[in-house]
Chains A and B, each alone.
Chain A
Amino acid sequence: MKKILSLKELSERNLGLAGGHRACAGCPFPSIVKMVLSSSDYPVVVANATGCMEVTTTIFPYTAWPVPWIHSAFENVAATIAGVETVYKSLKKRGLIKEKINFVAFAGDGGTYDIGLQALSGAIERGHNFLYVLYDNQAYMNTGIQRSSGTPFGAHTTTSPAGKVIPGKMQERKDITEIIAAHEIPYVAQASPSHFGDLIRKVRRAFEIEGPKFIAVISPCVPGWGYPENKSIEMAKLAVETCFWPLYEIEYGVYKINYKPKEKLPVKVFLERQERFKHLIQREDLINEIQKKVDEKWERLLSLDGKKIR
């Protein structure tokens, strides 16, 4: 199986959300979906958690999904896809189905870090064969930008507003990739739509492996982060270039950094372009704290690069 597909090959498959869905103008998750679905060599069945992706793409009677798709509730996409996959496994065992099908669960940070963490943890512990793609826009965006445990330190959200006394969210975000990696599943990765070749390679690698796979994809949000609607891909790129969102993978316990920026930009370059961090401009101390954390995490990854940790 080819590791990577060219955009021409991807365009021939052209499997993604159809036009007419109601995601915000400039939202990057449709291109993430396109990359994931088109990277599969076999039919895909998708489960989606409640959230932006689910709500904007399936308003009855309109659906933008060209593949079998199910949504049941907010916190259980991993359990829902596990149910579908279990039937497939059973039919395969009994020789009642021959074709290979890939199972993908899409969820936002809401349905993954917080309310959905239990179901995800349970499903991957049981070893179901599916790929979980987290589209991380770093807050509960669909309901109007409320903080999640994936919201970064210092960010303004409606439930962690930047006020006169408290300057935004004062807790560090959970490192979801490491939490999932600690479950010791065969493949865990962080990716960005800005680095599409890397994302496609990761998805294809994941589809090759039997068992639970997890890819966290940063998904900038026009209204939630506060930037012009044509800049989503640029925002994702900046997140990677500042090492705010490093691109790495952990395959069978071996860490590998996939992209080391030639020139690591200061995190301020990423923060100052977004409304949600605007209030930090006067707060050098907080920006330094953020930079320190970014550097610590990056140093840690550098020290783990190439090593088998789990």
Chain B
Amino acid sequence: MNFKSWRDLPEGGIIKNVPTSIYFKTGDWKSKQPKFIKEKCTNCLLCWLYCPDCVIEVKDGKIYEFHFDFCKGCGICSEVCPAGAIKMEDLR
């Protein structure tokens, strides 16, 4: 994705090898970050469903990992969690 000159651009302005947004880290938007309390988690997957930024990775139907690179700290995950397994913490 190194476009130093107009000659390097794909014709028609298209984007190939999608998705490429993964190279743009929106994680620096946040001032709060979710803390995952694994013991309380019931794996209902609502946080995965509602996270707008693909932060929460699910493996085999279980919450696996939080990718904070993309987390904007919106707090929806904490809000929708029925088990209190996610708490938002200030980053400062």
Could you list which residues of chain A lie within 8 angstroms of chain B, going by C-beta atoms?
7-8, 10-12, 14, 16-23, 25-31, 34-35, 57-58, 60-66, 69, 193, 196, 228-234
Cα(A22)–Cα(B22), bound, Å: 11
Please encode chain B, from 21 to 60, with 1 for each CB lying within 8 Å of some chain A CB and 0 for all others: 1111110011000000000000011101111111100100
Sample of 23 A–B contacts (CB below 8 Å):
A7-B48, A11-B48, A17-B19, A19-B26, A19-B69, A20-B21, A20-B26, A23-B52, A25-B30, A25-B72, A26-B52, A31-B49, A31-B51, A58-B15, A61-B3, A62-B20, A62-B24, A63-B20, A65-B19, A229-B76, A230-B74, A230-B78, A230-B79
4 further contact pairs, Cβ within 8 A, besides A19-B26, A19-B69, A20-B70: A12-B61, A19-B55, A64-B21, A229-B76
Contacts A7-B44, A8-B61 hold; do A63 and B50 have CB atoms under 8 A apart? no
Cα(A62)–Cα(B53), bound, Å: 14
Instruction: Let me know if A31 and B50 touch, CB within 8 A.
Output: yes
Cα(A64)–Cα(B52), bound, Å: 12
| 8 smallest beta-carbon distances between A and B, as pairs | A19-B70, A230-B75, A20-B21, A26-B74, A25-B72, A19-B54, A18-B19, A25-B74
Instruction: Let me know if B21 and A57 touch, CB within 8 A.
Output: yes
Q: Across the interface, which residues of A come within 8 angstroms of B58, CB to CB?
A: 11, 14
Q: Across the interface, which residues of B come within 8 angstroms of A19, CB to CB?
A: 21-22, 26, 53-55, 67, 69-70
Instruction: Let me know if B25 and A20 touch, CB within 8 A.
Output: yes
Q: What is the CB-to-nearest-CB distance from B71 to chain A, in angstroms, rounded to a whole number?
A: 8
Q: What is the CB-to-nearest-CB distance from B11 to chain A, in angstroms, rounded to a whole number?
A: 13
The interface residues of chain A, by DSSP majority, are classed as: loop
Q: Across the interface, which residues of B come within 8 angstroms of A28, CB to CB?
A: 50, 52
Instruction: Let me know if B45 and A63 touch, CB within 8 A.
Output: no
Cα(A197)–Cα(B69), bound, Å: 29
Instruction: Let me know if B79 and A233 touch, CB within 8 A.
Output: yes
Instruction: Let me know if A63 and B74 touch, CB within 8 A.
Output: no
Could you list which residues of chain B lie within 8 angstroms of chain A, going by C-beta atoms?
1, 3, 13, 15, 18-26, 29-30, 44-46, 48-55, 58, 61, 67, 69-70, 72-76, 78-80, 88
Q: Across the interface, which residues of A come within 8 angstroms of B20, CB to CB?
A: 61-63
Q: Across the interface, which residues of A come within 8 angstroms of B51, CB to CB?
A: 30-31
Q: Across the interface, which residues of A come within 8 angstroms of B69, CB to CB?
A: 19
Q: Across the interface, which residues of A come within 8 angstroms of B70, CB to CB?
A: 19-20
Cα(A26)–Cα(B74), bound, Å: 5
Cα(A31)–Cα(B45), bound, Å: 12
Instruction: Let me know if B79 and A234 touch, CB within 8 A.
Output: yes
Cα(A11)–Cα(B53), bound, Å: 14
Q: Across the interface, which residues of A come within 8 angstroms of B54, CB to CB?
A: 16-19, 30
CB nearest to A17 among chain B residues? B54
Cα(A62)–Cα(B24), bound, Å: 7
Cα(A10)–Cα(B49), bound, Å: 9
Q: What is the CB-to-nearest-CB distance from B8 to chain A, in angstroms, rounded to a whole number?
A: 10
Cα(A196)–Cα(B48), bound, Å: 12
